[in-house]
Amino acid sequence: MVNEFKQDNKDWEGGDSTNFYTYLLLDPKVINEIPYWNDNTTSHNNKWNTFVRSIFYVGKGQGSRPYDHLQEAKDLLKTYDEVRKTNKKMGKKIQRIWQIWSEGSGVMIFKAFESIKSVEACTREAVIIETLGKQCLCNEKNGTNYGKKVPELNKYEKSRFGKYLLLQAMRKFLNKYEEIQVFPRHLQ
């Protein structure tokens, strides 16, 4: 897949720019134990399960894209009473962000795969969403697989690829762990 996306193709969404990334929104209440686990006392499976359970949204972004979700949640929070009165249905993502904030935590943004083309970021996003399943995430859409190789994978191969991507993301998270929680007060 990576080799396919390294080829120049200005016709793809986002062109040849490598300013894109695939990001994860994490629930700090779930993820907060991982950095303190001793490798000798905690199984790899426990770390894996905790990391995967902490992910509640997968996205493709450029610039400050993940903060847009949080800003939207903050803006809607200001009008919460109006939203309730009109019985407007809030998306699962906004509800989850509100829940995290109401419990005294901030949302964690983790850029799992950086400096890649838009189509590669979209494909990684789509594969991870399919692997985790929308029932475990707040994503409303499945995402889009670009190129020729990934769309040709059968369900088992795509699942293995998704698990590989998640394992790479977990390793990066454990190696670069820096807990930065974003609260409404951090937003404009």
Domain ranges of the chain: 2-6+14-186
- CB-neighbour burial class of residue 84 (10 A; exposed 0-12, middle 13-18, buried 19+): exposed
What is the tens place of the pLDDT at every residue in 109-142?
999 999 999 999 999 999 999 999 999 999 999 9
**Nearest-angstrom CA–CA distance, 4 and 135:** 30
**Nearest-angstrom CA–CA distance, 76 and 83:** 8
Q: Which of 11-15, 59-63, 178-182 has the highest mean pLDDT?
A: 59-63
List Cα–Cα distances, 31 to 15, 36, 99, in angstroms. Answer: 35, 10, 16
What is the tens place of the pLDDT at every residue in 77-118?
877 666 666 656 678 999 999 999 999 999 999 999 999 999
**Nearest-angstrom CA–CA distance, 90 and 96:** 10
pTM of the model: 0.89
